[in-house]
Amino acid sequence: MRRSIFLFILTAAVTFGFLSSFIEPPEASAADRVTTRDTFETDEQVVALTFDVTFDRGDAVMILDTLRDRDVVSTWAITGRWARDNPDLMQRIVDDGHQLMNHTWDHYSLTGEYTGSMIHPESDPLSREEVISQLKRTEDLVMEQVGVDLKPWVRPPYGDYSRDTLAAFAEAGYTENIMWTVDTLGWYGHPVWQVRERALEAAEPGANILMHVGHGATDGAALPGIIDGFREMGYEFATVEDFVHGDLAPPERRFFEETGQELKDVFLRFWQRFGGVSLLGYPVSVEIEEDDGTIVQYFERARLEYREGSWPERLDVQMTRLGAEATRDRRDEPAFQPVQGADDDHCTYYSQTGHTLCGGFRDFWRDYGGLATFGYPISQEFREYNRDTGEMHVVQYFERQRFEWHPGKWPERHDVLLGRLGAEAYDDLNDESARSGEWEITAHRGPSHRSRL
């Protein structure tokens, strides 16, 4: 009898142990439904720019302007408090085509660790109910504001999470826990050049670059250089969702409602990589084949030419010498006469053309393209009437552009705007061609253009 009881107990114990090896606690099973990602798996030269926002607006407008001007998509991890206080920016983020992720409501450390924080002491971890509430409040507000469902994307504040946290994520429907490859540390207030360097040093396919909005972060000021630096290395940009779903193929063409024109193939890639709206403007013409077979397209601020094999590093696309062409009949004017000069702290003298480049114009020239984009200066600074604004402005001409100084207009870019030489040249071409009868006016959405017969 005793032997039978012993064998029964032993058999039950073994059976229970065997079965329990296949049955995990509910918390563990829930946590395992969440995938945590930092660098994304891909062989494509594509990176993700992600922005964390917590409380203040910071330089969100400047960041959104930069992303728009350079035709870059990004991902924003937003807190509920920030969304509540900035409904206009929430709408713009969505309208501009960026992705949203849940960053909780209050930006508390979910584990109480506050990793990397310089101001928060450690605290008790949030309970499962508190974590879910933080996510749910933000989720409901964003759905009400902009009609976007944040699930399944979440980024935990400070990057703090645990098995218990992941289980709460899963219960709330958040199964994609998005971390990062590198934090630029712009939120420390590091100099712009350091932030840029830190981001670009992380370049690899699938890199996930974390930046911050507000709290004195310098990421916004560094962003133009970060985007340009990645593109110089051959990278493009995608959202977190694009990476996870594998939608990384860049568009082959893009239509611009602003001018009723489209960009495609090599001109689109050049426009994206070397300046976008801020340097080149929107396209104002279709592609045109000239008599020698050269393909050209006009933009508000440039005319691009494609010549196969001419400049592989820049996609065989060149910006033509619009500045020189626009001023070819003005060389006798005083501002275009060569001068004697020398380099100093304020100015650089270019013997190639006999002109100096000084102050804010020199800073802009250096920061946004230099010789390859603008060419050498072909005039000194002088005041000129602007037919677009109807006002007088300080200007300086370069082989490929005209710089205009607009005090207070764009401090982040030295208050320098670029002249609409491409649009002016295209208007002049249309006027001349219409008079000679070589062109036919065609209807389309936006300002009029003409195509070759």
The domain ranges of the chain are: 29-245
Domain 29-245: which CATH number of 3.20.20.370, 3.40.50.720, 3.40.50.2000, 2.170.150.70: 3.20.20.370
Q: What is the pLDDT of residue 191?
A: 94
pLDDT bracket for residue 368 (50, 70, 90): confident
Single pTM value for the model: 0.64
The string of pLDDT tens digits covering residues 186-202 is 998 999 999 999 999 99
The string of pLDDT tens digits covering residues 9-27 is 444 544 444 444 444 444 4
Closest by CA to 78, choosing from 143, 32, 30, is 143
Q: What is the pLDDT of residue 437?
A: 52
pLDDT bracket for residue 248 (50, 70, 90): confident
